Structure formats: structure tokens, C-alpha cells
Chain A
Amino acid sequence: MNAKAELSWVPVCELDDLLTNVGVCAKVADRQVAIFKIADQGKTTLYAIDNHDPFSKANVLSRGIVGDLKGHNVVASPIYKQHFCLETGKCLEEDTQIPVYKVRENAGKVEVFLG
């Protein structure tokens, strides 16, 4: 990893601030990012997508229920219940896509990469 990229990883919270399979919302620069810690066969993976729900136009996706549908890890909007893929940001019901962000754990901290 080069130095420049290293600088774009923004620490947002402790890993322990996240409950497994429950989202939180982080403010990263001017954006609202929904971060999820998903358990899968004993290990956990972090995902980050935009917090803005394009259907209700409210910042609520971190408060949706996560799960999997037909092999995709998804979150359901808490307002009108559309599903968004956590890996790609694609909506499963409509032809819409929301931004996704890189996220990692680094020394007990959760970091989001703003490109």
C-alpha cells in the first residue's frame, strides 16, 4: 500500500462499538456512511454503504435489518423495505445503485476509505 492511500483511510470508531449484524452510521467528511459487521461462519466481515435511502430520501439505511437473499448480503431499508446489496450497493427490486465504500479493521479501529 502506498503512503497516499494510507492517508485516505479515515478511522471512525472502535470495532467494539459495532454490534454483530447491527448497523451504525458514521460521519466521514461530509458523507453519512452506514457500516455493518456481518457474521459469517465464525468470522466477521465489515461492509460500508451510503446511509442515504434513495426511495424515502432519508438517511436511514444503517437502521435496516441485514441478512442474505439469493446469496447476496443485503440490508433492507427500514422505510419501504427495498433491499440493497452490501457488496455492490445495487437495489434488488429496482434499477438503482447506491455508493459503497471500502472499510477495514486496523488495530481495533474501523476505518473507511474515501477515494
Chain B
Amino acid sequence: MSKQKLVVIGNGMVGQKFLEQFAAKEQASNFQITTFCEEPRAAYDRVHLSEYFSGKTAEDLSLVAEGFFETSQVDIRLGDKAVAIDRNNKEVKSAKGDLIPYDKLVLATGSYPFVPPIPGKDRPECLVYRTIEDLEAIKATAAKSRVGVVVGGGLLGLEAAKALKDLGLETHVVEFAPRLMAVQIDEGGGKMLRAKIEELGVQVHTGKNTREIVDGDDCTLRMNFADESHLETDLILFSAGIRPQDELARQADLAMGERGGITINNYCQTSDEDIFAIGECALWNNRIFGLVAPGYQMSQVAADAISGEFSSEFLGADMSTKLKLMGVDVASIGDAHGMTKGAQSYIYTDEHNQVYKKIVVSEDGKYLLGAVLVGEAEEYGTLLQMMLNDIELPEFPDTLILPQRGDSAAPAMGVDKLPDSAQICSCNNVSKGDLCCAVQGGITELGELKSTTKAATSCGGCSALVGQVLNAELEKLGIEVKKDLCEHFPYSRQELYHLVRVDGIRSFEELISKHGKGKGCDICKPTTASILASCWNDHIIEPALAGLQDTNDYFMANMQKDGTYSVVPRVPGGEITPDGLIAIGEIGKKYNLYTKITGGQRIDLFGAQSHELPLIWKELIDAGFESGHAYGKSMRTVKSCVGSTWCRYGVQDSVGMAILVEQRYRGIRSPHKVKLAVSGCTRECAEAQSKDIGVIATEKGWNLYLCGNGGMKPRHADLFASDLDDETLLKYIDRFFMFYIKTADRLQRTSVWMDNLEGGLDYLRDVVINDSLGIAAELEAQMNHLVDTYQCEWKTTIEDPEKMKRFRHFVNSDEKDSNVVFVKERGQIRPARDDEKRIETVAV
């Protein structure tokens, strides 16, 4: 049987999702699939497009799993555009002149930005915001601009305004309607949003009708408005809405809406039953759905239909949204404007804290119809579920949006009221049933639940709700989540930290006799050692502490596979003098060590035997070095680029800041290793966004990024705060670092720790910046104690003859371990393999 031919026009987010959903079907093997992609690159994430400006690359934004087109045998025509559909011969004509036959055709052509027909709109400084190429054009134009204007005060317009602001432009938003986000939010909400956005330094002009764009006097351009006022600017970004990209369908004579859009039925079929339309180009029930979630629903429906199953239907979609616009929470649910007959509303306004909340309820007061939240949108998840699932309102509906003070907690909806079919995460279509199923399958942690089900991994709006479902389901299953560290302690690391602090415990014996049982093990001993170090900072190989340390900490060096150690002196910020290099080189030569440059801009010396460590360190200390703590679960290095001192592009002294930061936090022990970096400009040569704590210089100060890491599961750090001065930067790092030390689990990197905090990054901001827990002063004091009690562990050790004795390999002999054998490779030593030990040996 010859294969059926399936052609998909458009490889945007929805087109790609369709390919994935279709390829997952058994019937896919009966189809030969071709997809057109007009852009030079395959599908990428347009929802997070603005992150392209904060450092994400086109590859980061890609939505195509590696090898997807090959394994799914999809022929992708990159950079080729479909120019005509011949329905009689069932062929698609490409811009390159090829004719591609089809049995089934899917139109996923998306939309294009609407540019109002204003004279002057085609000037080179007039741009749109839709593709990566658009963003590159914006970046290039912004580089020679001082002022930027966004035309359009809707969702995308405000998103674009943030991008211009981040590019350092004086930013204005010009909106035709009398308020911002007129579609989603009401007048009161729009007013509050405007106040907040203006506070952030973006100027808002509403009720402005642009008449023409002409040459400017102070700037490149001048916008003349219908009310005779004007505005000068160097760049104009049109973000005045989208229009369905439906030209192909129009030419092919498919049924269209009056104002555009390709008419589809519940199976996403157009007026030609072999042609389907999905996403923003499709018109269902006279509506265009300009969000990605309904697009994904349509693609699933079309995939089901084309496979012959016709097992699902598209029946419209909820257009409620929650987003963060320039750091301001904004949410709109259902009938936000109270258009339903007899609808009544409750409104709460707090001008001091700039919070606006409104709920719209049915005439009988029983059901929620809609809501608007500005400035604070924690209730979004709960309110959305109440509306979608027709859950009856509490006796006093206003308690849903009134602030919680004292004991008057907001009435919890109780996730158990939700049906299993309730969609918790609309971005990734995860239902309550999916979450419960995962929990029944053994998941007990929020972070794991998110990564397994993908819930709350896109916009994150449902994070709190996902946490509630997790807890409720665990309770229902009778699972008590055991956070026991090991068989000796019925406590988590966080609880043990607390006990050590509160009881002032200073030894393992005291801790285990008061709070544990047995003799301890290689889990709880190093954990306790780390906690004691984080609290009291006593020398780690004091007799009472020595037995708790992993061998790396005990020998203050890193054990390698053959039982020898490597030595890493601290090189703050990666800055080292020629004399320092020579000293390290001479020591390496004298002790016949293998030397290698590390990723953290230091020098690692390998092949030292335990008895050699004090000798090596005596010489390193005499040469002015100190311990680099490469062996500890502790602050490791602060990597830096050369910064404004030398670099043509640098805007701040990144090396100076790196040294300041490294000197401050050196030697501090934590639940896991912590890495830092400081970059001198946005080119980011120090790769700060791959660190737990990353600092990137801006014209005005420093941007702070948190919770990134490299390793097995690389993760970019999140932008935490912008344009900080030196003092504030260190204050935030102090608080963040200490909060992590106090509350993380054993061996939990900062990224996983943050993912497990309910509320994630926002919560962390609240604690660190707004001091929502009232512990900021305490965190700073505790950090100051650690900074003040720093000692070079090696210096203290070589000054103490008792400690020095412990480095001998044999307690009863000065001989060396004859099992340690090296051979030469590329001019240096390496450990001999078993077979080599028998044949060739090099004197050690």
C-alpha cells in the first residue's frame, strides 16, 4: 500500500505541536509527511521570545527535540514558502517552484502583526515583534537609538515595551484605546496597571490616534497624533494586534470569516474536508484564538481526525490569562468586564500597595463568571478553577479577594472539590487526574511532579495549585512524606539545621544523643559536619569533627580514583600574578604533579599523596596562596571576565567585583557546592547564567541571576533583580545564600531547591528583597558571622603539629603506599592502569 501524503504548511509552535502529536500515533507510519517552514529555522518558542534579549539564544528557544525530523521521517522544507494550493490536483506549489502532492493538508500558518495604515509606517525604524529576525532588527536599531515607542498597549505591546526598556531605551507606550490591555481588563485594573508601569519608567499615552510618522527634530522620527500632540522617537515598534495569515486559503477559495480567518468545524476541517486549519489562522465559531494553549488543543483534534480516529472535537477554549508584565502580575479570567446579563461585581482596591482585584459573579450570587487581578494574582489558580468547574461560591464571595489578615485565612476552595478532568495547567494541558496519577505512581516532591508531568513548567501560574493537589493526594493516599535523612535521624537536613541552631549544638555526639539513634553513617556525619560549619564555622579537622568529614574534607584535598589527591589553591576571580604562576609551577614540578586548568579559572595539581599534602601546602602558603576549598560542599569559585579595566566592551570592573565576592564568601559550607561568576557586560563571557549566583554588569550597576547550574542537567539562572549597586548586590547575595544554607536538603543544588519552594522565584524575591518572612536581618547577621570567622584551613593545619601527624600514609612508618604508581603521558604523570603496574613503573 503506498503511503498517504500529509503536508503541513507552517512550522510555528502549533505546526510543530501537530507534528509531534501526529508522529506519536500508530497510523503515522502510513503517512509520508512534508512540512513547510518559511523562516530559516524550525519551530521556536514565541511565548518566551523576549528572553532572546536577556541572553537566550535561538537554540535555547527551539521547540524541536534533537533528531525529531529524522526519527519521525518528516521532510522539512526550511526557508521554503508555500505559495499556492491547487485543490483540483491536490498539490501545493512552493516558492522554489516544486509541486508537493497531498492527500491531507494542514494549514498552520499562524498570524502576522497588524500595522495600522499610517503614512510613514514603512520607514526603516518602524519594526514589528514576531520572529527572531524581527528581534535582531530591533536590537540593531535600538543600538543607535535613545528613545523607543511601542504602538499598542495590549499584552504583546507591554511585553515589547519591556524589551525596549531592557535594551536601555527611554520607552513609551502609545495606545489608541483609553486604557491598557482593554480586551482583558477593566477600567480600574487598567488604571492600576498604568500607575505601576509608569513607576517603572515607561511612559504611557492612551487615547492616542497616530496620524502620521514624519522626520523628527531631536530624534529620527516624529509621531503626530490626531489631537495635535506629538512624540519624538528613534524607533517605533508596532504591536497593535495580530491578523490571521490566511492568504493561501483565500486564494484557494476556502470559506473565510468576514474579517479574515479560515473557517473550521469542530474537527478543525475547513470547507474542504481534506484541508485542516489550526492555531491563529483558524476561525472557529467566528472566533480567533490568539493563545498557544487553544492552538495545541486544535492540533490534537486535527491529528486525531487525520489519523482517521475523529476521537476529539474542538469546542472553544477558555481565554483566561495570567502573566507578569514588567514584573507586574496581571490576570484576567472569563467575563472580566461583567457583560453577562445580571452580573454583579465585587471590587477591592489598595492604592497604597497598588493592588486591584475584581470578581464578577452570576445574578444569583452563586457562581463566579470572571475576574481581574492586577498587582497581585495569587488567587488566579483558585478563581479559574471555580469558574471552569462551576464550583459554588462561599457565603461571602468577597473573602476570595480580600487580604488575609490575622486569623482570617481566605476560604480555601479545597482541591478535592475539583473533578479529575479539571485542567490545572493549561499551557501543557495537565489535568488534576494526570497529577494524581503521577502521585499515585510514587512521586512525593513538587519539583519531581513538575518535571514529570510538565505542569507549571511554562508560565508557572498554576504552581501553587499543583502543590495543593500534591499535598491533598498524598494525604488521601495516607502517604506521610518521609524526609528522614537516614536511619539515624528522623529529620530532614533543614530540621537538623534548625535543631543545631536552636539548641546551640556543637558536636555530632550531642546531636545524635539528643535527636537521633545509633552511631551515625556516611550520610548523616558529613551532613552534620556541614551544618556545624555553616552555623559555627569551627575548624573542620578539630578532633571532635574530624571523623565526620568525607575524606576530601578530612585531607582538605580531592581524592582521585587511585587514592591520591589533587590540590587547588584559591585564585580569587581567576586573577593571578606571573609570580603566582611560577610558584605553582615550581611546586608542581618539585612534587611531580600533573597540572590542569580548571573550569573555575584555577590550577589543579594532581597526584599528591596524603603525606605530601602538608609539604605542598607549606610552600603554597609561603608563596601567598590559601586553600581553594575545591574539596568542600561549599562556595567554590567566582569566575570572571576581564571587564571594563581592559575590555573594549566592558561596562563595570567585573574582576574587582569577583574578587570582592570571592573574598567575602570563601570557605562557606553549604548543602551542595555553590558556584559564582561575574561578567563585565551582557556579552557574558564569564557564563554567569550557568552559575548558582551569576552577576552581569549593566550600565547602571549589576544584574543578579540565581539558581543556574551546569553539570548533568544544565539550567540557566533566572534574572532575580536588575541594576543593583554594589551594596545591594552583596546584601541580596548574603540573604539568598544564607536562606539556601538554612533550608535546602542535603546535596540539593540551588535550582532544585528553588523549584521545590512553593511560589518559586517570586517567593524567593519576596523573602530576599521584600523581607516577607522578617528574617533578612537575621540572615545577614548569620552570614556576617561566617565571613568574620573565616580562616584558611590549611594555614591553621600546618601550624598544628598534632594535625600534621595525621597525613602520614602509615601510622607506624614513613614509607609511601607502593600501590600508587604513575606513568607518563603527554609529558606529565597519570595513574598507571593495572596492566601497566606490572610492566613499567616510573619512580615516584
Interface residues of A (CB under 8 A from B): 12-13, 17-22, 24-27, 32, 35, 38-40, 52, 56-60, 63-70, 73-74, 76, 78-79, 81, 83
Contact = CB atoms under 8 A, between A and B. Distances in A.
Contacts, number: 94
A40 B660 CA distance: 47
Interface string B30-52: 00000000000000000000000
A78 B487 contact: no
Contacts of B563: 56, 58-60, 79
Interface string B545-585: 01111110011000101110000000000000000000000
Nearest to B811: A24
B86 to A, nearest CB: 66
B599 interface: no
Given A22-B546, A78-B559, A67 B519 contact: yes
A85 to B, nearest CB: 13
B497 to A, nearest CB: 20
A78 B553 CA distance: 11
A79 B559 CA distance: 8
* Most chain A CB atoms below 10 A, which of B555, B813, B815: B813
B561 A68 contact: no
B525 interface: yes
B518 A64 contact: no
B521 interface: yes
Given A63-B551, A68-B518, A78-B559, 18 more contacts: A19-B806, A25-B809, A27-B812, A27-B815, A32-B817, A56-B562, A56-B563, A58-B563, A58-B819, A63-B559, A65-B521, A65-B550, A67-B488, A68-B519, A73-B519, A76-B521, A78-B550, A79-B561
Interface string B806-825: 10011111010101000000
* Most chain B CB atoms below 10 A, which of A19, A35, A67: A67
Interface residues of B, number: 35
22 contacts: A19-B806, A22-B546, A27-B810, A27-B812, A32-B810, A32-B817, A57-B819, A58-B563, A60-B563, A64-B522, A65-B526, A65-B550, A66-B519, A67-B521, A67-B525, A68-B519, A74-B521, A76-B521, A76-B522, A78-B550, A78-B551, A79-B559
Nearest to B563: A58
Contacts of B711: none
Contacts of B519: 21, 38-40, 66-68, 73
Interface in B796-814: 805-806, 809-813
Contacts of B610: 63
B520 to A, nearest CB: 5
A72 B810 CA distance: 26
A83 B519 CA distance: 15
A32 B543 CA distance: 24
* Most chain A CB atoms below 10 A, which of B521, B526, B811, B817: B811
B812 A67 contact: no
B834 interface: yes
A81 B481 CA distance: 26
B804 to A, nearest CB: 13
A76 B526 CA distance: 12
B561 A65 contact: no
Nearest to A80: B561
A76 to B, nearest CB: 4
A86 B547 CA distance: 16
Contact of B810 (A19, A26, A57, A58): A26
* Most chain B CB atoms below 10 A, which of A20, A25, A56, A83: A25
A38 B518 CA distance: 12
Contacts of A68: 518-521
A12 B811 CA distance: 8
Given A12-B812, A67-B522, A20 B554 contact: no
A67 B520 contact: yes
Nearest to A18: B811
A18 B811 CA distance: 9
A74 B817 CA distance: 24
A27 B559 CA distance: 21
Contacts of B817: 32, 59
A96 B291 CA distance: 60
B547 A19 contact: yes
A13 to B, nearest CB: 5
Contacts of B543: 19
Contact of B561 (A32, A56, A70): A56
A111 B813 CA distance: 15
Contacts of A66: 519, 547
Interface in B472-529: 487-488, 518-522, 524-526
Given A60-B559, A68-B519, A70-B487, A26 B812 contact: yes
**10 A-B pairs with the lowest CB-CB distances in the bound complex, closest first:** A58-B563, A67-B521, A78-B551, A76-B522, A21-B547, A24-B811, A65-B522, A68-B519, A22-B547, A60-B563
B811 A65 contact: no
B487 A69 contact: yes
Contacts of B834: 57
A67 B765 CA distance: 41
B526 A13 contact: no
A80 to B, nearest CB: 9
B551 A81 contact: no
B541 to A, nearest CB: 10
